[in-house]
Chain A
Amino acid sequence: MSQSVDTDLPVTGNVIEARDLRVWYGTDRGPVRAVDGVSFDIRPGEILGLVGESGCGKSTLGRGLLGLLPDGAEMDGELRFEGQDLLALSKKELFARRGAHLGMIFQEPLTRLNPLMRVSEHFRETLRTHHQGMDKAEIDRRALEVLRQMGIPPTRYRAYPHEFSGGMRQRIMIGLALVLKPPFVVADEPTTALDVLVEAQIIRILHDLREQSDTSLLLITHNLGIIAEACDRVAVMYAGRIVEIGEARSVFAQPQHPYTRELLRSTISLSTTGLNYIPGAPPDLVEPPSGCHFHPRCPDAMSICATRAPVDRVHANGTRAECWAADRAEGLLGDLPPSDLAPLTREEISDADEA
């Protein structure tokens, strides 16, 4: 039975509502537009997958949601958590939400636990911070319960982090994040550093969250297989923008955006006979390509793609995507001059450019 999460959900019912989020970093060359206008919703108990190449900004987005950005980063837009605008809060108020309301699961489990502290001490510290006055017995009971769900036996409760393998440490981290029963958790590539078998176990655990609680999860990954396994909905990110978002099944069955299509084609399975890849390299986020950021690498690019940014639209199968080619396929671009719709001529991407 699902444990209820004690929050007050506002009228819209969404745990997270993001509108036009931007996260830019300052550098000597100019601002890096890591996240450049991203909007999405997450419902209670839902798992939203966020997928994209390395450097597309998904990790930045995940961290931004929790306010874990490094110095020099600026974030703006609207970010509502249970109805409240997080960006309007003071730093202190935002920090107060961490842990009990907004949880985080990091990528590198090997270094995320304090080597001088036992696992039990990690739990005690976490629980005491958020539930002052909770007695030792109750703390241990809660911790052991969540560890049991993660598959860690109670005999290991007082052990030190270095006595555990990477997969077990990640499970402890997940346990630490969940023991506070936050309504929303960001998992930033939780299995990238782990081998495939362990990865399967972890994904199973995350997937089962749905049955066990109302916790919503933003699962960031570059692995489409994980999305298919565990996520209800998926958002595809490219060069700081969400290019397609919708129900996982719909997106996989009928990808609207050429990037999504190429990503799906390049996954390898037992039936793969030839390797597909997307030519070119991820774009420079200081000066992204004009118009649609994907146009230099897009097989379906038209002239208009290089000049005007595409409009976000909901498509026939219910997914939302921003792509001129997809709009054209649905017959929406009738009033544009044919020159705009001509295929884009561009130089062959030479191998050197990929560097």
Chain B
Amino acid sequence: MASASGSLPRYIVQRLLLIIPMVWVLITMVFILLRVAPGDPVSAAVGDKLSTEALDARRAALGLDRPMLTQYFDYLGSVVQFDFGKTISDNQPITDVIKNNGGATLSLTLGAILIALLVGIPLGLVAGRRRDTGTDVVIRLFGIVSYAAPVFWTGLMLRNLVAPTGWPSYEIASPITKFQVEPVTHILILDSILAGDTDAFLDVLQHHVLPCLVLGLLLAGVLIRLVRVNLLQTLQDDYVEAARARGIPERYVVRRHAFRNALVPVITVIGLQVALALGGAVLTEATFSWPGLGTKLIDYLTARDYAAVQGIITFFAIAVVLISILVDILNAIVDPRVRY
């Protein structure tokens, strides 16, 4: 048998192929859901602003007068080409909306996940190691409350707290920074680095602190409980006892055997966390007036713009699937058993 355990490249290809059916299911669901709603999208969005003929023209332009199945295949076709259509309320290509606002959501989500990992993993390991002690109880309670507290409440409380200090708790950057930095990647924090503008970068970073902290704590809450439970189960595993029987000192047993093995499932969990993070991001953006896709989604929801909502949700669906596949691949790299 070859020394390389399983075939990593083959596994990656298998997982990538799965993207197609999974995304297809989600897109179809979104499509069905939004068509199931009574009334038609156009009148809902702009019904009171245009005359009947203009409304009819709009409908025809969007293809809404064609049979459902045709619309469906048209939609699938355009999605494959990364064309998510146009918004009804302000007639913008949705791809533009995503491009302009996706970056902010991305930096928020990644920052939050980073904080969640830095806070959640160590606390979870400590809690598991010291089971049923005071430390364990406090950490678990912290984890539960972190998740129970809505982001918009924590955010609001923090905003009230920092108001007197002048620390930024609104928007992604000061207006000057937004004006000055050249949108290359449309991810403001990256663009400020690319522009070599230290002031701008620090400004954007400062603005990130509160929102990322708030969302990160939410994710950390879940992570703590998961890591703790994994560690508890790993500590009971047979190979841990076998290592002890060979005289390996307890601290090495815990570190090398228990901690490492307990953290392997965490990688999968991070994939689930992304789903959680996206939901939380929408709320966080609303709390901090963060110019991301979440805010846009809410705006379009309020405007009853079906096309925009459909487009943004479809994009989220694809993003979630891609990330979960990525996580699966990461998992295969770390855990040799998975590749078989």
List residues of chain A with CB under 8 Å of any chain B CB: 66, 68, 95-100, 103-104, 106, 108, 111-117, 125-126, 129-130, 155-156, 158-160, 162-163, 173, 176-177, 180
Contacts and interface: CB of A to CB of B under 8 A. Distances in A.
Interface string B235-260: 00111011111111110100011001
B261 A116 contact: yes
Contact of B237 (A68, A106, A111, A180): A111
Given A115-B261, A160-B336, A99 B248 contact: yes
A117 B249 CA distance: 17
23 contacts: A68-B245, A95-B247, A96-B247, A98-B245, A99-B247, A103-B245, A104-B242, A106-B245, A111-B237, A114-B239, A114-B261, A115-B239, A115-B335, A115-B336, A116-B260, A116-B335, A125-B243, A126-B247, A160-B336, A162-B340, A163-B1, A176-B246, A180-B246
A99 B261 contact: no
B252 A112 contact: no
Given A114-B257, A116-B264, A162-B337, A99 B246 contact: yes
A126 B246 CA distance: 7
Max chain A Cβ within 10 angstroms of own Cβ: one of B243, B247, B256, B336: B247
A114 B241 CA distance: 10
B249 A113 contact: no
B244 A159 contact: no
Nearest to A112: B242
A115 B337 contact: yes
A151 B150 CA distance: 60
Nearest to B336: A160
Interface residues of B, number: 27
Contacts of B334: 116
Contact of B1 (A96, A99, A159): A159
Given A116-B261, A159-B5, A129 B242 contact: no
Contact of B5 (A104, A106, A160): A160
Contacts of A95: 247, 249-250
B3 interface: yes
A125 B247 contact: no
A277 B309 CA distance: 74
B261 A68 contact: no
Contacts of B335: 115-116
Interface of B: 1, 3, 5, 237-239, 241-250, 252, 256-257, 260-261, 264, 334-337, 340
A112 B238 CA distance: 5
Contact of A100 (B1, B247, B264, B336): B247
A129 B252 contact: yes
A186 to B, nearest CB: 9
Max chain A Cβ within 10 angstroms of own Cβ: one of B239, B256, B260, B337: B239
Contact of A98 (B3, B237, B247, B256): B247
Contacts of A113: 239, 242
Contacts of A104: 242, 245-246
A89 to B, nearest CB: 14
Given A114-B261, A116-B264, A98 B337 contact: no
Given A108-B238, A163-B1, A126 B248 contact: yes
Contacts of A155: 3
A24 B336 CA distance: 41
A162 B260 CA distance: 17
Contacts of B241: 68, 106
B244 to A, nearest CB: 7
Contacts of A158: 3
The 6 closest A-B pairs by CB, nearest first: A99-B247, A98-B247, A111-B238, A104-B245, A112-B242, A99-B246
B1 A125 contact: no
Contacts of A117: 256
Contacts of A126: 246-248
A240 to B, nearest CB: 23
A125 B242 CA distance: 13
Contacts of B246: 98-99, 103-104, 126, 129, 176-177, 180
A159 B3 contact: yes
B244 A68 contact: yes
Given A104-B242, A104-B245, 8 more contacts: A95-B249, A95-B250, A98-B246, A103-B245, A116-B336, A129-B246, A129-B248, A176-B246
Contacts of B249: 95, 129
B230 to A, nearest CB: 13
Max chain A Cβ within 10 angstroms of own Cβ: one of B244, B250, B257, B261: B244
Contacts of B3: 155, 158-159
